[in-house]
Structure formats: structure tokens, C-alpha cells
Structure 1
Amino acid sequence: MMENEPPVFSQSPYQRPISLPSLSLIQVFFVAIFSAILGSVFTLSFLGIFSKEKKSLAPAIAAVKSSSSLTLDSFPSPIISSRTFPTSPQQSVSRKPLTTAVSNHDRVAIKQNSFVPQNHPQSWLNSLKFAESVEGELLAPTKTKSARANSSSVKYFPTFPAKSRKSDLQIAKKFTAIQAPISTAYFLAQNQHQVKPETDIESTLTNEREEVKLSLNDVVFLVVENNRNIKNAYLDRIIARQNLAVAEDKFVPNFTPRVSLSVEENESRSLTTNNREFNLGTDFAVKIPTGADIQLEWNALRRSTAENRIDLLESIAQNRINQTLELSFTQPLLKDFGININRASIEIARIEEQVDFLQLKNTLIETITSAIQTYRSLVQAQEQVKIQQLSLERAKRQLEITQALIEAGRLARIELVQNQTDIASREVSLLNAQRNLANARLNLLQILDIEGDLQIIAAEISETVGENVNLDYKQLWQQALANDPEYLQAIYAVEIEKLNVLLAENNQRWDLDLQLSYGIDADNLAENNTDLRAGLSFTREFGNLELEQAVERSKIDLEKSENNLREIRENLGIDLQDRIRDVEISLRQVELARRFRELAEERLENEREKLRLGVPGTRLIDIINFENDLVEARNAELNAKIDYLNALTSLQQTVGITLEVWEIELEEN
């Protein structure tokens, strides 16, 4: 072997060339005819598919050639095949046919985060019903791929054959639910299980926590049942009722029985003495409203004495029974005389119990009002997140349109900077809205006093705006005077101070008492004795300035409480006028905000149409500004509705009819 020759390797049977068998002329003729027929079939199929795809893309191509702008409607809508999805091995549910054309592809690309509830008013995909139910769960993406550079990821949804198989059902059950920012509340209401956030912005603010959807009625019920301030107010009611029971026991007779037994034994060298005593008695005392004290004391004593003399061998026994009865009557004639004086403490206790009841009512009204407004803040935060998400989606669609125009040569590539800046700004706004949403949830959890690891989802507000609202000042004023807890407490405070003045003046009087007593002493070994006494007792303390000070203080407190009552009455009238005016103005603001939003939508659509038609002077920056104006208009309309409902709730609180509106009965006992 020469040095420059390449090495020679032995060939394996698989590396040897294959020799074709020789063909006859007839065989070659038939092969040529078959090849021609097969080529014609493939050519016709290719031309048909190409024409179909070309036809589906015709609107977009024509729009690029004829205008300087594109809209979402210019592109083919994502389609899902109308097939049957399995729900169980024995049963299958057919999907409803779509209004758009049906594609034969088994996998259809759907843009990420474009899922909007079918009944959402701002939904741009409300004609697509691609979230069909499979065993109570929604279909989820099987994988995510990048469609092209500078575009969002796409998701692929599989379709199943018309006949359900057990393997298909098992595959469907493995799918997880789709998480889309604008459909969180809707999705949780339908599925009721934990959802993992897909967007980076949402994942920074939410964790996997148990989610609970609550209505406004649920919030009112929970706050009444769980709020600790309300529980403490009910505990205070128990103390107030006990204080009233003690005060009303003033004129109830007191009965005190007594029983005693004693044994005594004394021993000496010649004498042993045994003494036994059994004492039975009772005391009866009662105070009557005139101020008199009646006391009855009865006592019975039995004494047994036994003496044993050892030297004389004799024993002496003696039994003695003694009973005493004493009745006394003391009636004040100056100080502490009269029914009003003696019943003043009871009246004060009853008024204080009513004040405590009003405090409980006021606590309930304030807490319920605060819970309602906090719940509406949660609804407001949720809607603001939806608005920001819709705005972000529109900005992303506008970026795609701009990219298409740039590729068509209708716009300069520098125009992408404005769209990208707008998208970044809207992502920041979305992050702030989601942060406000998390804070609103925590605030509601705090006032409800329930577990802090729950993620509350507020249901849609079903309250109507501007219907069945009574704003007549005279009727509302009369209701406020009869129901407002603060005003009623001020009235009771004046009554208490009047009684305090009466008691202070009573303490300044002289002590002059009429005293009567009658006693009987009965003994089995002696004569009975009786004792009857009557007299007057007079006392007076001089030099004590505290009595005069107490009178002056009570009068000043009475005057201050009357001034406070007038102040509260005037403030109640002013507050009522303010609440009525707030309701009227907020209702007008709702109408103006709705009109502002409609005009903003119309102006934005007009500007987009001008850009599509290529009207001179139409700029992309104007569309971005009008888009910002539309977001502001929608937020203004949302804020106006929430402000109106809160103003109506504040009016109910001022009038004092919050419990009646929510049909909450509060019993005094």
C-alpha cells in the first residue's frame, strides 16, 4: 500500500450499492402513467389549500394595501373546531357551533391572556365560546410556544373525537384551569378551586390561597356574626342589664334567716356544767318608695343547762326558751323624702341601659356601613384591574397593528417606541391596580374578622342607581329624629343630668327622721315584756362645701348637656342636608360620567377609523392619548357609581335606618 493512498475499509452488507432490476418497456409505461396521475392529485390538493388560505388572509392583505392602519377585525379570528368533548365515559356533551367559520385544524392558537368572560361588556372575544366545560373544569393549554419575535406566546387547545374514550377523559381531567387577569372572579365563581397566576405581575401580588366569592348580603351577615367590636358591644349589654337589675331591686324585701348551735362543758373537782344553746332568727327589711325603712327582727333562743355535783351525787337540769320580736319604722321628712327622690336611682339605671342599647345599635350601624363601603372598595379595585387589563390588551393589539404597518411599509420603525412606552406605562398602572386590590381584600378581612389566608372575590354589585330613592327632607328629618342613636343618646343625657340635679339638691337638705319601734320579749320562766317607742331624729352638717359644689356642678352639667343636645340636633340637620345633596350630586355625576365614557369610546373609534382610512394629520400618538382618556373615563364612571352607592349608604346611616334597610332586628332584652 502506498503512503498517500487512503485506507480501505471493508464494506458491510448494508453499505453495498443496491442494483435496480431491469424493467421492460411495458412496465416503464405503466409506472409513468401512475406517476402522472399521482402528481396531478397532489397538485390539485395543493392549489385548493393554497387558495383557501389565501382567501382567509385576503382581508388582512387588502387592509394593509389600502390603509395606513389595521384593526383586530382585519385579521382572521382564532377558531376552534366544533367537536364533541367527553364529560364522562358514558356521556358526552356537544359543543355549540361557533358563529365564525370552522377550521379543520386539530390545534388552534389562542393569544395568551385574551380570555374574557363571555358576558363581559368589554369583551372583544365575546363571539368565541371556547371555554367549554369538561367534568366541571375548563380546558387548559397543553403547551405554550413562541409564535414569532416581539409577539406574545400562544396556547394550543386540543380537540377530541366525537366518540369519547376513557383515555381521552383521563387526558381532559389532567388539564388545569386557565388563569386570565380579567376573568378571575368569573372563573372562580364557576370552578371554586385554587388558581395559579400566569402573569408575572399577578404572581407578585397573589399566592395560592383559598378563594371565596362573597356577595354584599354575605358581607353584612359575616360582619354581624364575627366582628369583635359588635361582640364587645353585646358583652357590654350584659353588664348594663345586670346594673339595671340591681337598681330595680331597691324596693324588693330582703330576708335573712339565722341558725346557730353551741355546746359548752365546764369541769371542776366537784362540779360539771353542760350548756347547750340553739338560736333561730330572721331579719326582714324593706324600703318603700316614700323613703321609709321597715325592719322586722325575730329571734328564738333555747338554752339547756345541766349541773352534776360529784360530792353530793345529785344533778340539776334547767331548760329556758326566750323569744324576741322587734319592729322598727323610719321615715325621712326632709332629706330622702318623696317618691321622685327615691326612684331617681332606678330611673338613671333604666336610662343608662337605654343608652347602652343605643350604643350597641350605633356600633352595628357604623360597622355595617364600614363593611359595605369596604366591600364596594373591593369591587371598585377589581373593576379597575379589569379596566387596566383591557387597556393593556388593546395596547398590545395596537403594537401588533403597528408592526404589520411597518412590515407593509406604511409606518417608520420608530413608531414602535410609542407603543412600547404605552405598554410599559399600562403595565405599571396594572401593577398599581392589583396592589390596591390586594389592600382592599385585606381591609375587608380585617373588618370581617375572619381568617387572613382567604382571598375574597367580590360578586358583581346588583344595586341599581337612581331608583326608589326618597330624598324628601321633611320625611327624612322626622325619621332621623326618631332613629338617630347619637341624637337619642343626647336626649337621655339631659334626662340623667336633671335627675343628678335633683339628687344633689336632696343631699343639701337637713336630716329629719320619724322613728317608731315596737318590741316583745317572751320567756317561759319570766313575764312577757313589751316596748313601744316614738321619736324624731335631727342632724345637720355645717361647714361642708362639697354639698354646694355638687349642686353647682350638676346644674352646669345639665346646661352643658342641653347645649350638646342642641348642637347635635343642628349638626344632624346639616349632615342630613349634606347627605341628600351628596346623593343628588353623585347621581348627576354618574350620568355625566356615563356620557363622558360614551363620548370617549366614540372619539377613539373615530380616530382609529381615520387612521385606517389614511386621513391626513392622523397620528398614532393621538390614538394612544385617546386610549388613555377612555381609561380615565371608565375609571371616572366606576368611581361615580361607587360614590353614589356610598352616599346612599351614608344617608341611611345619618337617618338611622341602616338596620331596617338590611332587615336586622335588634331586641332590647
Structure 2
Amino acid sequence: MTLEDAVFLGLRNNRTIRSAYIDRVSQKFGLRVAEDRFNPQLGISGNVSRQRIAGFETNTIEVSPGASLLTKTGATLDFAWNTTANWQDAANGFSSAAQIGIEQPLLRGAGVEVNLAPVQSARLGELVNKLRLKATVSETIAIIILAHRALLTAQQHLQLAQASLDRSENLLSINNALIAAGRMAPMEAVQTQADIESQRLTVLQTRQTLEADRLALLDLLALDLGTKIVAVEAIDPQKANTNVAKLLPIALSERQDYLGQVYVIEQNRLGITVAKNEQLWDISLYANARFGNRYSEGAGSDRVADVVAGLKFTIPINDLNRQQQLVDASTDYRNAELQLETIRSGIEMQIRGTASQVDLLWQQLTVAEKSRDLSLQAVTIEKAKLNAGRSTTFQVRSLESNLRDSENQLLNARIGYMNALTQLDLQLGTTLVTWHIDLKD
């Protein structure tokens, strides 16, 4: 399984990513509800009843289809068509009338900015939710990459341990040949045999680590835990550009947490606008009208034409709850700005720290390559000297141990450098760009 295969399967199967997309269904519907604020709301109400009072029985049916509309200026329009039919022992009655009402706030609740604030806040919230989805996917991809490399590292450690075991067994063969030729005492081969058993134990322990890393990767990919997989990736990293002056602007333009906090600040600004409006007097113009017909058995029918218009007001004198709303909104806004500064400082600290780590790991990688090459040359030369009778088994074993250490250090340095680049990519917020992933939402 290549690294690309692991990332692809993670995008399709990982449970965290799938859960994030499930949450998006509810989030998008919430935006739809907010944007429905200025659309007409339709409904039908009714009542069917039968009652008996003082020996008189009455049957009543009421049906009232209606609609209400909120405009961007804050005005509310209500319309209903009320139809009522009565059946009584003494007389029957019927009425049908249209009822229209309108109310326009003049201060509190008035104005396009105030009434659009909930919709704009919901749209900003939707942008934040999209950024959170990107952050979740980016973080999960980074976790999958690190898990894939952990399995790859375990595989490489197993190969190195097996190669070291093979070299020790070859050394034991040389020792046995020298003992048979009378050029070495039998006791000198005992330590070589002990080293072989120790390295066999290392091989077994490495296989155990490999199995644990395999299960961890399969769990992240939501695959059958019995699947036999082998991690494949070229371990040949290239030196990366770690100029902080160039990296920091990229992070500030791509980091999901930073951009999301910018939107949160805008939401809080809208909250202050609404809270300030809540401090105003509640003064509204209103008008109600009712037109229709009314019929009563015995009294005949007549027309209904009622109109009412006026001005109503509510003036708070010492309502601290409204003032509390403004205080809370202002506090949230100031805290959001401070949080943005904290996030920016944290981003810069992360970028500088990881960039410095990448540079140091590259230097370690260069030193580890030289150390491995020199250790390999030293073992080759010492074995040739042993065959010529000019060295000892102890010296070869010592150099073999150095070679094992240098090979493991080189592997760890390479994987550590590649993991640091993955971490830097995540901190820059460019993981999806690096992997050419365009989220479908």
C-alpha cells in the first residue's frame, strides 16, 4: 500500500471524516433555516367542536388558512382567512372574513442591518463550519500519513534487524572455519552465538511492533483488521525551504483556525449591532383590517369592514437585562480579537519551531548518512582483516554493533525529517493543497 493509497482510502473510509460529513448535513440545514427568515410562512389552523350548554347543543367548525411575512426593514405582515360555521338548535350561523395586519417598528427591531444580522451571522457560521471540515480532513490525513510511516519504519527496522542477524550468522560461520583450522579458540565463538540470540529476540520484538502499527493503520482506514498490508514509500527526502518570512504569510492565509476566528470576530460585531438596537425604545406603527360577510339564521347577512390603526410603544425605565446584552456582546467581541492575536502568535511559534526542527533534522540526516557509510566500510575492512588473521572476532562484533546503530539512526533521521515536513505542511494549512484534494461539500 503506497502512501497515496492510504490517503485515498482514508478520505473514503475514515470514521472521523465520515462523521464530519454527517455533521455537515445538519449544519447546512441550519443555514437554510436562517435564510428562510424573510420567506412567507404558510399554515392552516382549525377547530371542530361540539358543546351543550343549558340544554342548547352547538356544533362548530373553524378553518383559518394564513400567511405571515417578515421584511428586511423589520415590518411584519399577517394574513388569515377565518371561516366559521355554527349549527345550533335555535339558529345556524356562518361567517367568512379576511384579516390583514401590518406592524412596522420605528426604533427597536427596525432597519435592514439589524434584521439581516441573523442571516449574515449564519452565513459566517457556515464558512466557519467549512473551515472546520477542512481542518478535520487535514488533521486526519496527517495522522494517516504518520501511521503509514510508522508501519514503514517498523518494516525497515525488521529488515535491518534481519540483515544484522544474517551478518552475525555469517560471522559465526567464519569463526567455525577458523576454529576448525586451529586459528581460533572455540570459546571465542561463544559471544558471537550470544549476539545471534540477542538479535533474534530483536527481530521478534520488531515483528510485534510491526503488527501493532499495521493494526493501527488499518483501524484509521476502517479496513478489515485481518488485511495483510505492506507500506510502500520512497525514503529519499529532499531539502525543503524553511524561510519563515515566506512561510508565515502562507499560514495566515491558509490556516483554518485563523480564518475561522476572523469570521467569529465578524459574527461578534453583528452581535454588538443587534445588542445596541435592543437598547432603543420599542415604538411601532400598526394597522389591522377585517373584511368579509357574516350570516345568522333569522337575522340575515351583513358585511364586516373593521379597520384599526395606531401607534404603540414600550419604554423601559431600568431594564438591566437589555444593558447586559450589550455588555456581553462587547465583551465577546474584545475577547474574540484577543483570541485572534493568540492564534496568530501560536501559528508563528509553531512555524518557527517546526522550521528550526526541519533544519536540524536535515543536518542530523546528513551526519547519519556519513556515519552509516563509514560504519559499513569499517565492518568490511575488519572482516577482511579477520580472514587474514589480523583482527579478532570481538573487534568485528563491536563494529557490527556500531553499524546496526548507525543504520537505525539513519532510518529514524529520514523518517523523522519526512514527518517534520508533514507536520509543517499541516501547520501551514496547506495539506489539502499538497495532496491536490478538493473537498466536495
Normalised TM-score (structure 2): 0.90
**Any conservation in 2 of the 1:236–1:356 contact (CA below 8 Å)?**
no
Shift of 1:542: 4.3
Secondary structure at the aligned position of 1:614 is classed as coil
Give the letter aligned to residue 356 of structure 2. Answer: R
Structure 1 pair 434–263 and aligned structure 2 pair: CA distance change class (3 A): closer
Give the structure 2 partner of residue 631 of structure 1. Answer: 404
Q: CA RMSD in A?
A: 2.7
Whether 1:503 aligns to 2:280 is: no
**Separation in structure 2 between the aligned mates of residue 626 and residue 483 of structure 1, nearest angstrom:** 49
Structure 1 pair 254–397 and aligned structure 2 pair: CA distance change class (3 A): same
Shift of 1:586: 2.5
Give the structure 1 partner of residue 225 of structure 2. Answer: 452
Shift of 1:286: 0.4
Shift of 1:232: 1.4
Secondary structure at the aligned position of 2:276 is classed as helix
Shift of 1:634: 0.9
Structure 1 pair 360–606 and aligned structure 2 pair: CA distance change class (3 A): same
Give the structure 2 partner of residue 296 of structure 1. Answer: 79
Whether 1:220 aligns to 2:26 is: no
Shift of 1:665: 1.5
Whether 1:517 aligns to 2:288 is: yes
Shift of 1:288: 0.5
Shift of 1:379: 0.6
Structure 1 pair 340–281 and aligned structure 2 pair: CA distance change class (3 A): same
**Separation in structure 2 between the aligned mates of residue 220 and residue 390 of structure 1, nearest angstrom:** 31
Which of the numbers 155, 158, 165 marks the counterpart of 1:385? 158
Deviations 1:191-250 (A, max 9, x none): xxxxxxxxxxxxxxxxxxxxxxx2212211222222221121111111111111111111
Deviations 1:86-106 (A, max 9, x none): xxxxxxxxxxxxxxxxxxxxx
Structure 1 pair 421–522 and aligned structure 2 pair: CA distance change class (3 A): same
- Specify the structure having the higher radius of gyration (Cα): 1
Structure 1 pair 663–282 and aligned structure 2 pair: CA distance change class (3 A): same
**Separation in structure 2 between the aligned mates of residue 409 and residue 276 of structure 1, nearest angstrom:** 124
**Separation in structure 2 between the aligned mates of residue 283 and residue 331 of structure 1, nearest angstrom:** 19
Give the structure 1 partner of residue 110 of structure 2. Answer: 337
Shift of 1:632: 0.9
Deviations 1:86-145 (A, max 9, x none): xxxxxxxxxxxxxxxxxxxxxxxxxxxxxxxxxxxxxxxxxxxxxxxxxxxxxxxxxxxx
Shift of 1:639: 0.9
**Any conservation in 1 of the 2:236–2:414 contact (CA below 8 Å)?**
no
Secondary structure at the aligned position of 1:458 is classed as coil
Counterparts in 2 of 1:317-396, with a 5 A limit? 321-396=94-169
Give the structure 2 partner of residue 480 of structure 1. Answer: 251
**Separation in structure 2 between the aligned mates of residue 581 and residue 395 of structure 1, nearest angstrom:** 39
**Separation in structure 1 between the aligned mates of residue 419 and residue 371 of structure 2, nearest angstrom:** 21
Structure 1 pair 243–596 and aligned structure 2 pair: CA distance change class (3 A): same
Give the structure 1 partner of residue 261 of structure 2. Answer: 490
Counterparts in 2 of 1:226-625, with a 5 A limit? 226-258=13-45, 279-301=62-84, 321-459=94-232, 461-462=233-234, 464-466=236-238, 469-523=240-294, 525-615=300-390, 618-625=391-398
**Separation in structure 1 between the aligned mates of residue 377 and residue 401 of structure 2, nearest angstrom:** 14
**Separation in structure 2 between the aligned mates of residue 607 and residue 261 of structure 1, nearest angstrom:** 105
Structure 1 pair 422–301 and aligned structure 2 pair: CA distance change class (3 A): closer
Secondary structure at the aligned position of 2:225 is classed as coil
**Separation in structure 2 between the aligned mates of residue 542 and residue 426 of structure 1, nearest angstrom:** 86
Secondary structure at the aligned position of 2:230 is classed as strand
**Separation in structure 2 between the aligned mates of residue 439 and residue 306 of structure 1, nearest angstrom:** 86
Structure 1 pair 399–434 and aligned structure 2 pair: CA distance change class (3 A): same
- In the alignment, structure 2 segments of 5+ residues that lack a partner are none
Shift of 1:251: 0.8
Give the letter aligned to residue 420 of structure 2. Answer: A
Structure 1 pair 614–258 and aligned structure 2 pair: CA distance change class (3 A): closer
Give the structure 1 partner of residue 420 of structure 2. Answer: 647
Shift of 1:584: 3.0
**Separation in structure 2 between the aligned mates of residue 406 and residue 551 of structure 1, nearest angstrom:** 93
Deviations 1:448-497 (A, max 9, x none): 232222333222x1364217x45454543333222211111211221222
Give the letter aligned to residue 141 of structure 2. Answer: I
**Separation in structure 1 between the aligned mates of residue 203 and residue 88 of structure 2, nearest angstrom:** 102
Counterparts in 2 of 1:140-179, with a 5 A limit? none
**Any conservation in 1 of the 2:97–2:304 contact (CA below 8 Å)?**
no
Normalised TM-score (structure 1): 0.61
**Separation in structure 2 between the aligned mates of residue 538 and residue 575 of structure 1, nearest angstrom:** 56
Q: Which has the higher helix share?
A: 2
Give the letter aligned to residue 491 of structure 1. Answer: V
**Any conservation in 2 of the 1:504–1:550 contact (CA below 8 Å)?**
yes
Secondary structure at the aligned position of 1:223 is classed as helix
- Higher relative contact order by CA 8 Å / sep ≥ 6: 1 or 2? 2
Percent identity, aligned pairs only, is: 31
